[in-house]
Amino acid sequence: MAESPLDVLLKGNSGRTTRGLLRIIILATIAAAAVSSRLFSVIRFESIIHEFDPWFNFRATKYLVSHGFESFWDWFDDRTWHPLGRVTGGTLYPGLMVTSGVIYHVLRFLTIPVDIRNICVLLAPGFSGLTALAMYFLTREMTTSPSAGLLAAAFMGIVPGYISRSVAGSYDNEAIAIFLLVFTFFLWIKAVKNGSIMWGSLAALFYGYMVSAWGGYVFITNLIPLHVFVLLCMGRYSSRIYISYTTWYALGTLASMQIPFVGFLPIRNSDHMSALGVFGLIQLVAFADFVRGFIPGKHFQRLLTTMIIVVFGIAFVGLVVLTVSGVIAPWSGRFYSLWDTGYAKIHIPIIASVSEHQPTAWPAFFFDLNFLIWLFPAGVYMCFRDLKDEHVFVIIYSVLASYFAGVMVRLMLTLTPIVCVAAALALSTILDTYVFAKNGPNPRAKANEDNSDGLRSTRKPNVGVTSYLSKAVMTSSVVIYLLLFVAHCTWVTSNAYSSPSVVLASRLPDGSQHIIDDYREAYYWLRQNTEHNAKIMSWWDYGYQIGGMADRPTLVDNNTWNNTHIATVGKAMSSREEVSYPILRQHDVDYVLVVFGGLLGYSGDDINKFLWMVRIAEGIWPDEVKERDFFTARGEYRVDDGATPTMRNSLMYKMSYYNFNSLFGPGQAVDRVRGSRLPAEGPQLNTLEEAFTSENWIIRIYKVKDLDNLGRDHNNAVAFDKGHKRKRATKRKGPRVLRTE
């Protein structure tokens, strides 16, 4: 891919149309490469929806396709969050589902019958091709160098940071959101450059689409006002900025309020207040600017001072009053965790428990961005060199996104586009400088044809790099870097990001691939063997999958909207059976599902997630569940003989290790994840009975027993069934309680 921009430039002398054609061909190739590199998972495994959230999106899409848009809009989902239910139509970002629904119906209209699943699986790769195009346009706005856009498109197409969320089957909001993000920014830049209502309106429309697709729209909501604000501070107010910003804000806010999930947030939530503030500010600035047209500076300053004092006084008082009276919602928790990385850990374990909300590890930057990460600062520097409005945008974007990406792994995704832009800027400058120094006048002449006033960088005389040796060294090293980059991307994509995580792959000793399909085995068991309305309790990670694959109601799922409900499940999992059983009964639970990796050494199992359950439950019931009780006196988290009684009596522990001993010889049972030998006597379950255990024991399903028919508690009932004689229970201390009717 790296050579393609060179091709265009090598034909620099040919006509405009030829280069245009070539550019189109190259872009098409880039898009094709972007799509095809995301198909590893389909080839390796099958056309299957990946991971967790996509399963919900898939299910929602199926609902949309089969019930129509109206009922999707009003969808009340009674098969999740039992018994609360979820107003799904009003609490999701419908952009993704509607997009694939539209594609589905268009294809049907064109008499191309395609399974909705395949559309969902292939939506992300398809949109990544579009993202590459959008990236091309965005970069084109930044520089005159024609190669930069193509380079950026190519980078965007294959950079692992983006592929991680957009491989085939990764049917998630981000799949289309990144395209919308980039395209909205492109339209915004266009609007700022042209000062045109139309571009502003288009930006607002795409912003509205983005709002309908991803919660990350808040990033745009804050970035664009910040851009405007910085421009104002730099004294760069102009009518163009006024026009584009006010148009964007007025229309974009209205558009975003059409989404039921967003609703009145844009004027209530503090996350959106900066946009409103800048909107007000720019009105004032515009008015001041307008008034200044009529009077000399001295008087104007007096007028201005009065105005500023009055307006800011009113605004400040108003803001304080509104915040105190609660009209404007306080900052949301996820937002706090963006600023203070320790915040979530202390206050909101449910947010901290999600792996993608963890702070990013440093190697991840290199892993996801490879050599772009060190071209990135160079590119930002290039933007400083000729500091036009759009370059200010790039700089602000880079600074903000770098920070956020460092805070949360997930936000690496928002950093990736700007890294591609900046790196492409830097690399194209290098290439332009070194490759074309000899026929330097050519691109510049062309640039001057196209532009009435070119960039300062192109107008500057090239520093004399004329030696063929240095050219060759630089060019070849760049080419080598690009080749390495491509190799790295391919390797990362195929090895790290193409696993569906529903199906696990492992290598047998002879090197052949072995598919571990326990998840689907268990989910299909549920689908085939349980009643259609049987309620399944599991940790929330598996809620979407159970809903999608097993089609059974769940208590909690990955849409973690109700912390208390999740804490209830956590409490049921981490308490003794006697405590858990009433909870299970109250919530009509029929089956409990746990994930256990001890036999196979699968580390993402529930025992490893157990502490989060405990913490979340402790957040609600600090007196009943205590994290400390799950650690030994020396502060270790153990599952073997040294495990604390609380740990050993917890429902989760019992369910995980129930009957595990029977697989091994006496005293030989070993948990391969924790690497510890288990107690000789396995746990005993009274209120649950084992219903199903998958081939590799990854999924274990237990049936909740009904109340005892004779009114005994389950301990006694089980003991009786095992033939233990019951001790006379009348030896109680204290006075005998007489029975009265």
Determine, following the binding rule CB under 8 A, whether residue 378 of this chain makes contact with another protein. Answer: no
Could you say which residues in the range 239-258 bind another protein, by CB under 8 A? Answer: 239-240, 242-243, 246-247, 249-251, 253-255, 257-258
563: CB partners within 8 A, 6+ apart? 348, 350, 616, 619, 620
C-alpha 415, offset from chain centre: 13
Query: Is there binding between residue 15 and another protein (CB under 8 A)?
Result: no
- Which residues, numbered 113-152, are part of the site for another protein (CB under 8 A)? 140, 144
Q: Is 711 in the site for another protein (CB under 8 A)?
A: yes
276 binds another protein (CB under 8 A): no
Binding flag, residue 363, another protein (CB under 8 A):
no
Stretch that binds another protein, among 209-217, 481-489, 693-701, 709-717 (CB under 8 A): 709-717
- What is the footprint of another protein within residues 256-275 (CB under 8 A)? 257-258, 260, 264, 267
- Greatest extent of the chain over all pairs of C-alpha atoms, in Å: 108
The residue type of 318 is G
CA–CA distance, 202 with 189 (Å, rounded to integer): 11
Q: How far is the CB of 582 from another protein (least distance, A)?
A: 12
For the bound state, the minimum distance from the C-beta of residue 593 to another protein, rounded and expressed in Å, comes to 19
Task: Tell me if 293 contacts another protein by CB under 8 A.
Answer: yes
Among 324, 469, 633, 710, binds another protein (CB under 8 A): 710
Helix-helix angle 297-325:273-292, to 10 degrees: 160
Residue 629, number of CB atoms within 10 A of its CB:
15
Q: Which stretch binds another protein (CB under 8 A): 43-51, 71-79, 165-173, 516-524?
A: 71-79
Nearer to another protein by Cβ, of 285 and 620: the residue is 285
Give the x-and-dash track for 30-69 against another protein (CB under 8 A). ----------------------------------------
Does position 292 interact with another protein (CB under 8 A)? The reply is yes
Q: What's the full length of the chain, in residues?
A: 741
Question: Is residue 107 at the binding interface for another protein, with CB under 8 A as the rule?
Answer: no
Show contacts with another protein in window 383-422 (CB under 8 A).
Answer: 388-389
In the shown chain, the binding pattern of residues 453 to 472 toward another protein, with x for contact by CB under 8 A and - for none, equals x-------------------
Give whichever of 119 and 536 is closer to another protein, judged by the CB atom.
536
Residue 430 in the binding site for another protein (CB under 8 A): no
Six-digit token string for 151: 């380079």
> Which candidate, 426, 396, 23, places its Cα nearest to that of 192?
396
Binder to another protein among 13, 14, 306, 529 (CB under 8 A)? 306
Q: Which is nearer to another protein, 117 or 193 (by Cβ)?
A: 193
With binding defined as CB under 8 A, does residue 586 bind another protein? yes
**Least distance (Å) between residue 565 CB and another protein:** 10
Stretch that binds another protein, among 318-326, 404-412, 648-656, 733-741 (CB under 8 A): 733-741
**Which one of 294, 362, 363, 633 is in contact with another protein (CB under 8 A)?**
294
90 binds another protein per the rule CB under 8 A: yes
Exposure string for 441-452, b = 16+ CB within 10 A, e = fewer = eebbebbeeeee
Supply the minimum distance, in Å, between the C-beta of residue 251 and another protein. Answer: 6
Q: In this complex, which beta carbon is closest to another protein, that of residue 90 or of residue 440?
A: 90
The two tokens of residue 460 are 């500057």
Site for another protein in 182-241 (CB under 8 A): 190, 193-198, 200-201, 204-205, 232-240
Show Cβ contacts of residue 20 under 8 Å, excluding neighbours closer than 6 positions: none
Dist CA 606 CA 614 (whole Å): 12
- Compute the distance between CA of residue 341 and CA of residue 405 in angstroms, rounded to an integer: 12
Considering the complex, what minimum distance in angstroms separates the CB of residue 586 from another protein? Answer: 6
Stretch (H or E) spanning 515: strand 513-516
Nearest distance in Å: CB 355, another protein: 30
Q: How many CB atoms lie under 10 A from the CB of residue 6?
A: 15
Q: What are phi and psi of 537, to 5 degrees?
A: -105, 130
β-bridge partners, 702: 592, 690
Q: By CB under 8 A, what part of segment 648-707 binds another protein?
A: 707
For helices 468-495 and 412-435, give the axis angle rounded to 10 degrees. 160
* Binding-site size, another protein (CB under 8 A): 98
| Residue 720 binds another protein (CB under 8 A) | yes
558 touches another protein (CB under 8 A): no
Asked if 629 interacts with another protein (CB under 8 A), we say no
Site for another protein in 526-545 (CB under 8 A): 533
Residue given tokens 């202390």 in the structure block: 346
* Rounded distance between C-alpha atoms, residue 430 and residue 570, angstroms: 56
Tell me the residue type at 696: N
Nearest residue to 165 (alpha-carbon basis) of 115, 124, 212? 124
230 alpha carbon, distance to own chain's centre:
28
Tokens of 633: 């006196």
Q: What is the CA radius of gyration of the chain?
A: 30
Q: Which two tokens stand for residue 288?
A: 């001041």
Nearest alpha carbon to residue 424 among 478, 497, 345, 466: 478
